[in-house]
Amino acid sequence: MKYKLLLLILLYTNSFFAQPTDKGFDILHYKLNLDLYNCFIDPFPHTFSGYVEIKMKAETELNNIILNGSSYSITIDSASNNIQSFNHSDDKVNLFFRSSINLNDSISFTIYYKHKDVRDGAFFSDKGMVFTNNAPEGARNWFPCYDHPSDKATFELIAKTPANVLLGSNGSLIDSTLIADTIYYHWKSRDPVATYLMVISAKVDYNLDIVEWINPETNEIIPTRFYWQDGENITNLNYIKSINSNMMDFFSELFGTYPFEKNGYASLNEHFVYGGMENQTLTSIGFDSWREILIVHEFTHAWFGNMITHKNWSDVWLNESFANYCEGLWIEHTRGKDAYKKFISLEADRYFRENPGFPIYNSWWNDKTPPSNILYNGPIIYSKGACVLSMFRNAVGDSLFFKVLQSYTNDESFRFSNADTDDFISVANKITGKDYTKFFYQWLKSPDHPIYQNYYVITEDENEYRIDLTINQVQDNETAYKMPVTLQIVFSDGTNEIINIQNSKRAENHYFIFDKEPVELIFDPFYEIVLKEAETLIFDAIEITY
């Protein structure tokens, strides 16, 4: 997701979403059948009726299960096929089975429900446009589901609309059947989808362009569907279409081939308050938001967020920090290294300017999902996280850095499934052959950043010169940042020397011997520790006589 406004949208819900414990089941498939016809007719109500068929597998013996379903937004009429009874209250749907479900058994059941004529921040209907926006946990507002990113399932949608409506969703278009003034769309995903990535984007008189990309490894044709509206900047749209193949080639080379059966973008209206939302295979963007870097950000979520989904909300940086960093990789690819460095500098500037003072990784988010302006905080989850990846790249070098990313995105235990922060760190440790746990924990789990107050002294003794350097970390948090540090020594003859050291303590002394006169020591001359405040002073040597 990319924010264009730091805005909290939590309508008629609690400030915190309740999170699951071990639930004892795995949802395998959702099949929705929705009558959206009247939502496109003036006065554009939010009311619709439908049902969801759910297939699940028991992970323990079960007599009942509890799903998420907004009490404010939906009314459940009935449930059938293996369901004896149900109750719906406090945003929970408790379903009781006709008989116990044994371990490893799979069953299906159907829930019939209606969406009320209410605005809930997830299902939108206005002026001939209908769309959904689920992040972080809004799917429960328009269909009963297990609404947590750790439980991914394949997704199928059959939707009834007026004949002049184009409707897009996840996966492939299986069928669209026109009967008189009505069209029935049938979409189905090949791959599992997290509930926050399930989507409907539909509009009267949508325009649709399709650009094809040929997978160089398999020769499979992957379509990218562009749903756009009259009144948008066609020059910008055409530019995005023109770079589509380059994007898919470049990031497929970095992370492994594009993982899904299609790609797509749908522009929405003023009710969509974000820059973009990376719904799996059909990204939502704001009206007339055909902007290169926004599209790159959302596109790279195909690997970071969609194919590999965070296991808990505390791990959301694995989505947003990575997609934000991919903006920098694209800038480096298309505009050069200096432009990449400028991008990282701007991300660091944003963090310093707007830092709210909490960490990237917050374990309590596993129990209570925070409000959206915290969960998707721009300076922390996007900018600081991207800078952490930049510093990791600086620490290990380009070759190992990209091997780590490719190993992560090609690990079969994570692909089309979930990963957490420790999973990524384990990959980094394995590929580099070193333990970077401390490196990541200090940047992810501590707030703020190191503040260095350094000083050095130059002394001479019989044509030998010595620099004594004291590195002091004086930040308020208790972390002692362990970082590789580059020093540049400038000599009186105009030459210089680069020295690499490790700093791992809050107060640390180093000394260096030279056979020519040094005149200056520069701490981190290449801006490799991008998240820091630093002052390095030279002190005069004090001669002590006895």
* pTM beyond 0.85, yes or no: yes
Model confidence at 31, pLDDT cuts 50, 70, 90, reads very high
Domain map (residue ranges) of the chain: 2-311, 314-444, 451-539
Q: What's the mean per-residue pLDDT of the chain?
A: 96
> Looking at residue 6, what is its pLDDT?
40
Q: Per DSSP, what are the bridge partners of residue 34? A: 50, 159
Q: What is the assigned CATH class of domain 314-444?
A: mainly alpha
Place of tokens 């990575």: 322
Strand order in 518-523's β-sheet? 496-503, 483-491, 518-523
In this prediction, residues 394-417 reach a mean pLDDT of 99
Percent of the chain scoring above 70 in pLDDT = 95
497, two tokens: 């020397």
Angle between helices 234-255 and 398-409 (to 10 degrees): 90
In this prediction, residues 186-197 reach a mean pLDDT of 99
In this prediction, residues 424-451 reach a mean pLDDT of 99
Residue 95 burial (CB count, 10 A): 22
Cis peptide before 136 (omega within 30 of 0): yes
Question: What is the amino acid identity at position 320?
Answer: E
In this prediction, residues 375-403 reach a mean pLDDT of 99
- Closest by CA to 169, choosing from 200, 146, 207, is 200
Residue 446 has pLDDT above 70, yes or no: yes
- Tell me the per-residue pLDDT of 495-525, one tens digit each, with 9 for 90 and over: 999 999 999 999 999 999 999 999 999 999 9
- Tell me the per-residue pLDDT of 228-274, one tens digit each, with 9 for 90 and over: 999 999 999 999 999 999 999 999 999 999 999 999 999 999 999 99
Residue 302 burial (CB count, 10 A): 24
In this prediction, residues 175-184 reach a mean pLDDT of 98
5 secondary structure, DSSP code: S
Fold type of domain 451-539: Immunoglobulin-like (2.60.40)
Main-chain phi, psi angles of 246, to 5 degrees: -65, -45
Residue 224 has pLDDT above 70, yes or no: yes
State the Cα–Cα distance between residues 421 and 407, nearest whole angstrom: 15
Main-chain phi, psi angles of 58, to 5 degrees: -80, 130
91, two tokens: 């945003």
> Looking at residue 20, what is its pLDDT?
54
**Length, in residues, of the chain:** 546
Same fold, 2-311 and 451-539: yes
Model confidence at 134, pLDDT cuts 50, 70, 90, reads very high
Answer for the pair 144, 68: CB distance below 8 angstroms, yes or no: yes
9 contact partners, CB below 8 Å, separation of at least 6: 121, 273, 372
Please check whether the domain covering 2-311 is classified as CATH 2.60.40.1730. yes
> Looking at residue 217, what is its pLDDT?
86
